[in-house]
Amino acid sequence: MLYFFVRSSYLFALFLCKFLFMSFKEEIVRRRTFGIISHPDAGKTTLTEKLLLFGGAIQEAGAVKNNKIKKSATSDFMEIERQRGISVATSVLAFIYKDKKINILDTPGHKDFAEDTFRTLTAVDSVIVVIDVAKGVETQTEKLVEVCRMRNIPIIVFINKLDREGKDAFDLLDDVEQKLGLSVTPLSFPIGMGYDFKGIYNIYEKNINLFSGDSKKNIEDTIAFDDIQNPELDQIIGDKAAEELRDNLDLVHGVYPAFDKEKYLEGKQQPVFFGSALNNFGVRELLDCFIEIAPSPQPKMAEERMVDSNEKELTGFVFKIHANMDPKHRDRLAFIKIVSGTFERNKPYLHVRQGKKLKFSSPNAFFAEKKEIVDISYPGDIVGLHDTGNFKIGDTLTQGEKLNYKGIPSFSPEHFRYINNADPMKAKQLYKGIDQLMDEGVAQLFTLELNGRKVIGTVGALQFEVIQYRLEHEYGAKCSYENFPVYKACWVEPEDIKDEEFKEFKRVKQKFLAQDKSGQLVFLADSQFSLQMTQQKYPSVKLHFTSEFN
């Protein structure tokens, strides 16, 4: 009897373990965490919204519209504050589609916030790049794709606004290959464009969806048609369009390699879809293919070792910090991407940099535009943790292991200014404010080696106003700026300080040397010419345009 009891308990425990483990694995496999990137106005917000509509996460168009910082806000920081409030809610948009848990990480389109986008890209497992059919590849897209390529992030390209007159599809594919350095293969192909836009041939699923231009807002206005050689095609889209489509597809098959999922996952091949986000055309095809081919949470390299998402112990890192809008509640929301294990409410976790254990009683999960307290989250998920100043971007959280995820690199800012204290009575507040805003990643701080003066570097001029405004309203401190002409910040690879050339470099260029917030040496070149001269004169001193170069 006892034997029977022990044995059945053992079997039950075994079953429970297996069930729990299986479900943990299944939870990982069903997750897709990605970002949508584009040049402003290409249609990122519209596409995001349509994806949410498919997931049933929102009921009507227009719900995510407010998410973006409008172009008109270039010097209006009050507007930015308002937008900042909205963007907390839309930082992560999650929904379920065909049993897949989809997490879209919002990337600000405004170029002044490009640094935010770069950081968010460290937390995605794949991206969708949106390109405007009329404008082709634009500058902002080039920069963002370059970051993705550096990290071999799998990319799907969506060419948008096919309902408008645009460039020829083959020219666009060439543009994408040449300007973005990608190796594309179209998985859908347009039939006509603009006024003549008739629909899309879905190469991936081998069928045709026809576009009914009369009721442009209707999601279901497509007709499935699955044999390209069928003479009925000529009747439906006309002889000319049918012939053109057959020729184009011959060309596609002749010129572009067949889709290879492995290559896509390695970041070596990029499938392309065509469509119109506004008209909800080609979006379902994109989403259906996306959930099938896009990667589930990937292993991530820490300084110490590679961490697999299937590992049971929690590890994760902070990729974004959002300050509370309400000055009476100074807490911030730190966004953690879970890399492995589960994140559980009220369980103590190690804040590795500070070496202390922290418990979180109200971790937030994100669903559509809402955030809610969650008991358990899985790899690929983003949790928002209320923070009173413990976290900074790049911090790692574990279950006890001393593990550090590789830092999130800083890129050279575009604008530099000295920051001065404009109210001597509030020096303490000013430095605290600067410190916290830099932890949040609003801008970068450099301290000059020569005289200890502080220089703020930003991606866009707008951030200077944001900093000034926030220092005053959140910290009660006042600052003023002074121009500091810098062409590029270059991180200096640590050298043997006894090296004569390095010593000479440090002596001669002392005026242009500074330390970044983590104490790394930075050369602030004042012109392209001076940078070139420095590189020629001191060839053994290695200068890098990002803070991460190992």
Q: Which residues bind ligand G4P (CB under 6 A)?
A: 38, 40-46, 65, 68, 109, 160-161, 163-164, 276-279
- Report the residue number, 57 or 489, with the smaller CB distance to ligand G4P: 57
Q: Is 418 in contact with 481 (CB distance < 8 Å)?
A: yes
Least distance in Å: CB of 457 to ligand G4P? Answer: 26
| Helix ranges, 161-277 (H) | 169-180, 232-237, 239-255, 261-265
- Report the residue number, 318 or 462, with the smaller CB distance to ligand G4P: 462
Q: In DSSP terms, which residues pair with 398 in a beta bridge?
A: 315, 350
Least distance in Å: CB of 10 to ligand G4P? Answer: 56
- Report the residue number, 118 or 343, with the smaller CB distance to ligand G4P: 118
- Report the residue number, 60 or 262, with the smaller CB distance to ligand G4P: 60
- Report the residue number, 194 or 238, with the smaller CB distance to ligand G4P: 194
Least distance in Å: CB of 453 to ligand G4P? Answer: 38
Q: Please state whether beta strands 513-515 and 521-525 pair in parallel, antiparallel, or not at all (unpaired).
A: antiparallel
DSSP per-residue letters across 227-261: -TT-THHHHHH-HHHHHHHHHHHHHHHHHSPPP-H
Give me the long-range contacts of 282-286 (CB less than 8 A, separation at least 24): 282/158, 282/162, 282/188, 282/200, 282/209, 283/47, 283/50, 283/51, 283/54, 284/54, 284/219, 285/188, 285/200, 285/202, 285/204, 285/205, 285/209, 286/128, 286/156, 286/158
The residue among 19, 100, 91 whose CA lies nearest residue 54 is: 100
- Report the residue number, 41 or 244, with the smaller CB distance to ligand G4P: 41
Least distance in Å: CB of 293 to ligand G4P? Answer: 23
Least distance in Å: CB of 458 to ligand G4P? Answer: 21
Going across the sheet that includes 155-160, the strands are 92-97, 100-105, 31-38, 126-132, 155-160, 270-274, 184-186
The residue among 461, 485, 486 whose CA lies nearest residue 110 is: 461
Least distance in Å: CB of 295 to ligand G4P? Answer: 24
Least distance in Å: CB of 137 to ligand G4P? Answer: 14
Least distance in Å: CB of 164 to ligand G4P? Answer: 5
- Report the residue number, 69 or 182, with the smaller CB distance to ligand G4P: 69
| Helix/strand/coil for 79 | helix
- Report the residue number, 70 or 345, with the smaller CB distance to ligand G4P: 70
| Helix/strand/coil for 318 | strand
